[in-house]
Structure 1
Amino acid sequence: MANTLHKKVLEFLENYRNLHPEFLYWTREKNTKGRLKDGYWFQGTDDYAFVGLYDRSGGTNMTRSLGLVFSMNPDGNISLTFQIAFNEETDKRLLRFYQDLIDTFGDFKQVTETRFDKILSDDNAFEEAENFLNQVKPLIDQKIMDAGLEEIFIEPLKFEKNLQKIREYQTKLAFEANSRRIIMASITWNSNQWKSLSNDPSNHGHVKGGGQANESWNFDFENKRNTGDEVIGYAKFTNPPKVDSDDNLVIFYSQKKIVGFYGKAKILEQKKANEYCNLSGSKSLSVGLDNHIVKVKEKGYLEDKERIGRIGFIYLNEPNTIQNILQEALLLNPHQAKSIQAIQDWLGFKPTNEANYWIFQGNPKVYDFHGAIAANAIRSWTVNTHKKKIKIGDKVILWLTGKEPGCYALATVTSNLFHRVDDKDEAKFYTDGKGAGEGNAVEIKVDYNLSETPVLRETLKDLPEFDSFNGGTQGTNFTATKEQYDTILRLITMATTESSPLNQIFFGPPGTGKTYHTIDEAVKIVSPHRYKEIRDDRDLLREEYDKKFIFDWEASSGQIGFCTFHQSFSYEDFVEGIKPLDPEDGDTYLKYETQEGVFKRICRLAEDSLKAGEKKKQILFTLPQSEFDQSHFYKISLGEANVPTDQEIYDYCMEKGLITLGFGSEIDLTGKNESEVSELYSQRYKDGGAQFLNYFKNYLKVGNYVLVSRGNHYVRALGKVSGDYFYDPAAPIRYKHFRKVEWLFKDQDIPIQELYEKNLSQQSIYKLKKEWIKPQFFVKKAADEVDIDSKDPKKYVLVIDEINRGNVASIFGELITLIETDKRAGSTEEMKVVLPYSKQKFSVPSNLYIIGTMNTADRSIEALDTALRRRFSFKEMSSDPELLKSEGKIGQEKGGIIDSIDVVLMLQKINDRIEKLIDKDHKIGHAYFMEDTTVNDLKRTFKNKVIPLLEEYFFGDFGKIGLVLGSSFIQADHNKDFDFAEFKDYDSNLKSDLKQRKVYKINPEEEWEFKSIYTPTVK
């Protein structure tokens, strides 16, 4: 069991990190004397836990040099101390830094010559620790950066590695401490996946004698015997498992395969059990696998057991076994990911690490075997090397060698447990029958089989990335790269994915799934490979959509934008316009700036992606990895990029190999230290000018790198500082402060997202956060290691909901022509315009897709702007009641029936009548009924959606609504006492006619007869 103090400290730190993801801390690295095994997550004992905040050894103190000490007091309260310990430290920079901290924060008690403690709290450690992390640690971080000591920051990868180790020990401890049992239970084979009566004649004697296997309904979750969140099942036990809780996991085993799970399983007491049920599970944590796990014993999933004997079950005791079983189940059944991952979360298993990539070679003589791989989905592949490195989830390139080299399949490793190949029929495929039984095997699942697409295989065989693999020895394996794997995946996707129109509109009546289908279409465009894997799983589609959605335009790697047109939506909102700025102190007039609208913003992101693709084909420069690791980066502005007169500043610096700063150009700062610069300028420049000058003169060191910005989104030059500060009053530009630099590249336009995780700020100079810098931009070994995505730039999607509700001609303006396919940037008929506010040249990039939705009940497609209609492909989304049977909650099992009400036929009748009274554009959409499962659901749908929609369609004419729904919904309101007011001047005949006019009302819900909508009333 984990030490209580260490457990509480870890919980506090992880809760804090959930709110502050950038926060990292130091945990115990080694399991010395079994301390990790016993739950001591930090350096310490039962009475204290030391949490390192930086990665620098405290010497013989056996801690980090800076950290928080949580101590258990005799009264049960926890105290907190900030400790600085640096025994054996020799680096003078660090020694000065530690002394500076001691002097700055004060009240330290000197415990030894090199250890200082500052008590922060005697009894309220966690509250004070949060205050410290929020208020003090940022100041320490800044001091570290100012001193150029960034190497003591904790590396994220090292942190994750240490934390993952602790999580593994936590899982082990939880399994040992928990009363939960893991039970593998044997059940009879069932040909219908245990969802209905079995048709399999090969069952045991009871079935052969005419009986039905009681397990037949184990995964029939909608069976009437299952109530609430519980599913009732059966397994044949000679004696039931001994359990101490109702929180167990049952793994169902049949014919040497794992076929499903019950989570939160109960073994029913003997008096409650019967011949039909003896266990239960939680529906949300139970699943019957569509693709079963095979070779269970060979993979070690029976642990130390030879078989499941007559008793009918075995206990599993190793968390790693359970984790591997669930991981393989997930890989074999990605469409059931939600259910399987729910079990993993319940058990406390964390996601596995990122995949490794491998190339397994094969001999052309075994070509026929490739078809067998595709047909059976899972087969073994010989593995002679790297055995301990390959793990579940790794990706494999199966490469054909010999006369017809090339890739024939991509696969995923489904088992990291190796076993000898004993099956002779299978073994011959490894080494043509010679010594085949000596081989080891790893299970794989083939994701993409190319043996049936020879044209694509012909393309793949000549890939330059794989020249070194052609003609290799059968059975030899190579470490591959993600880029190599993605190269093949990209070509497969391009060859097999149906292309989407650049501009398209989904149109149809309300409730037909137009907006719903934009999610599918957007994911299909931006993630075609992922879409093919998850298109049948709505939850995963939605997750992928959210992952690619642009929530923050200023710092987003997303690819999907969204907006809704309405009557007030304008060109300024869509393209660009002038917007007022917040006033600052001293402003005497209102100031404006040109701001991008949603369309121009996503066009910029799409264009940047294309530019990045071109830049990646070039090797502008490269840094050795060791130099990058020690480097520091600053951002600087050489004048304002959008001010024409500042161009001379940039040009002068590029020509002379200089950087410059404009603040305080009238004073020479040579020889002035940080405090002297601050004293000179702190009053004159209250907006930070003094700090900028200190960055430029005193903080920026020779050997540091500077990025020269163009606005907030682009880098136009990169240099390495090669000289100290100097002042040049004779310089031909208005700036006089200078530093010498060596330009690594200049006059470029590199999107900032290619090298930094955030947009740049408008500050003249500041230090960039190292953890946000993307090392792959700076460290390149050769041109062939350039990101393969450059060959296939990202695609972007703008979804425009209700596109017909806005004034399209006004919103698009002159851009209506530019969205045409042949008018896009880079096309043969490319067109550009000069935008009215920014005066910039503008064209629409070729990798931007526009998806609109249009409700035909609001406005007919014929009334849509003609110019827009010519430039979009239209896809009708009509009402389809039959979808309720296949995709609605009253689907195949209920056949579209709710308590004998035929919802499908009812909706068809309603729409037939609406089409006759109005037109097909005003039908009622099937989507309104997708979630309905009870009569009360139907009543709510009619009350809140159908009837209000009909009132809108018929302008309150309840008589026509009665023609659609019938008299059980609408009746005449016979009011005998009704009379008009006395008004002699009105025609009495007309008055009499009006008095006879019928007035209708909606009947109370309890009188509604849904069947009467489609069934004539028999009197």
Structure 2
Amino acid sequence: MNQKEIQKGIELLCDTSTVVKNYYKNDQNILEALNNVNKGNLQKCAEYYKNKSGVVVDIRKEIVAKLLANETLTEASLNELIEDHKKGKENKFRTYKETFSIVFPVITFYGHNSQRDFVKTFTKKLMGDLGFSSEVKVVSFDFQGERQQGSERYWVAIYNKHQENQSVGIQFFFEFYNGKISYGVHKHKDQTYLKPIVSVGPEQFSYSEMLSYFEKSKQLLLNDVPKFDNLSSISLNQHKLYKISHGSFKSKKDVPIIETFKSNNWIVLHESTGKGQSDAFKDSLKVGDYVYITVGSKELIGIAKLTSNEWDYVPNDIVDSDGWIYKEVELINPSLRKKPKDLTNKKSFYPSANTTFSEILPENLSEANELLFKPYFNVEFIKDKNTNDNSSLTSHELNQILYGPPGTGKTYDTINRALELCGEDLTGLCRADIKARFEQKVDEGRVVFTTFHQSMTYEDFIEGIKPIEPEKEGDPVIYRVEEGIFRRLCIEASFSLAKEKESVATENVLDFSLVYDNFVEEIEEKLAVEEPIILATKNGGKVIIDGISQQRNIIIKHPGKDNTYTVSKKRLSKLHTAFPNLAEMNNIDQQFRSIIGGSNSTANWSVLNAIRSNNPVSMETKKAVREYSWEDKKEVVQALKKEDYKGKIGEPFVLIVDEINRGNVSQIFGELITLIEEDKRLGKAEAIQVRLPYSKDLFGVPPNVHIIGTMNTADRSIEALDTALRRRFSFTEMPSKPELIKTDGKAENGIINGIDLTLLLVAINKRIEKLLDSDHVIGHSYFLTVKSLEGLKAIFQNKIIPLLLEYFFGDYGKIGLVIGSGFFVIGENQVEEDFFAPFDDYDSSPFIERKVYHLRNALEMSDETFIQALNTLERKTS
């Protein structure tokens, strides 16, 4: 293939993509294409479908028959034909949303062979020129689409042959869409582009530039192989685990069907599957549940997680018959060993069992782990525990985000989740009692609640330099490093672990802290009466205590000199731990410097010696009166080593971050993005600590810190957050649940003055979802507190209508489609000739007759008018 052939082929594909794109814009373009299909191609299409049947296949066969009979199709006759076939089978047409998705094979089935031939040859040349043909696999989808429902794109992906499919790792891709060729490097698993996408028209395309672009990332693709270094854990976290078998497609001739399922991230079974398996597949399998996918007893595909509760029918172009249904999943762990030949157990959850869909019950989980998941997937599943043992928790339990549209109870639910993490049993408690317990945990420092916003910074969250208010007027303002919200919580959590089983180092820190505080109190009493305080030095000299600083440090000076030296509690504590016997020290300057740096060794030795000689209180007294200051806790935590965290449980500490997507996550979290991962937590084999920029302290995240975030899906900043945190957090959907209005709401059976609030919310949300999407629906919580018609008016005026104004940017037309005309009034038309300012050569007459709409104030509407507006709104959808 030479340069001229490449350029000609690129032009052909780009031109074809423009033509196909136009099929989606106007059905007239489809009709013109259908009525001009080559008779030879029509005959081939008829032969292909001759012995096939299905709800959509039958439509295609009839279209082909009409065209072969020289009948010209019109928009009316085509729509009538499709509607006749749909009658009584509407549910099987849910995936065919466009006319093109039904009729495309008649147009493209044989007419695009030259395009397919070019792409095949072009891909082969590209892989050859990159020098890795034997190391990669290729998957492509032409204008018939990956789901055999038509497509505006012709797409090709090249990926490492060791990966299960292109959805798992890194892929080189190129595609033809809307008159352009685009190419890039994509990591499908993380939904990230590793290089900026190149998108050009055929006249700007350069094969050498495309080759150079991919050459620079070639090694990245070759190194992208599955890694099974360490056994990983997956916590079910209240979700279920199932087996799904694609056993009916295990014969060799149907391998492409299985590959299509893999490429589409589908799990599939037939709706006639008996023993309740089909119903369980449709109704019991929920978002967040896990499945392991097997092709009967012949091949293990991988472990996947459900991403949607919806099910739909597999196009019968793929499976050649009706009744096959699918759900969408995300493959999270491909199989390590694909052939389970040695697994012959007939229990329902094994690949060798004669079952299609089966739940792995908790009592069978240990067996399944040992015989199936560990040896074949290098994974073990962990059941939920009702204890505070964090040793087996995964990042999905430690870090979770509740997401959903406004008003679905995300913030409300964080309180319950935080208390449950803290070991509280909420059974039978009313909301007031739950809130009281929550406030108690906040007061104890076990739970911290914060809200992210655009001004939140790293200095607020981790640490920063802040001004300290002077103790008295005239004192200078001083600056010091202050811990932020999250670091303070981590210090509290680490201190909790230290107290659980106090080490010698911890005891030393705490004991010294108390003795130091007693010493300082005595010094202050003597300074108050101007009693001189003289301390002995190591070499027999003297130093004088000149005062106590605002930070409770001791100020020292030499007799007859004005220079002063500060001796801090923090440094003395380190020296106290490092040197138990001051008398045995030979070179205090060198030895002290090795622990605390270049501070004045004479002053530090003198104070430390005086403290130890000050007849400290007995251990029993210390334990009875000990109250840990913030500085004590920091000292203890800094004294801890990585190994001190191993095997520790500790009390759970919870950070709740409301509106987590409202802040600049990269700026706020900084290095925390890595440190919050479960395997990077302190006490784990892969634990990481970083040196903080301000305090220069080592910092790591303890294993007993949980993070719960909330995200409003109607907020447009959510996309950036998903990319940054998806791997570190478990995402739990909080959808709108209108049915709760009847059970949890204030109104009797969810009805106010004859208005069914449940049906009302369903009607509103159906329309919003149609005009926008499910991320912008309205939550049920707005209606839970409604007790009267006046309350309902207030909800509409103060909550619902402002939300709609925000969603639709003041587009009253779309708002009217959601809530009807009852909430609108037509403004008075100003028809005077001089209504508009004079402006020559511009005709203003069309605007004079234009209707101007205003939204009514719901609070000012009469009860009768308001009820009529709502009844009309609800009835239109029921």
Structure showing the higher helix proportion among its residues: 2
The alignment's TM-score, normalised by the length of structure 1, stands at 0.37
The alignment's TM-score, normalised by the length of structure 2, stands at 0.43
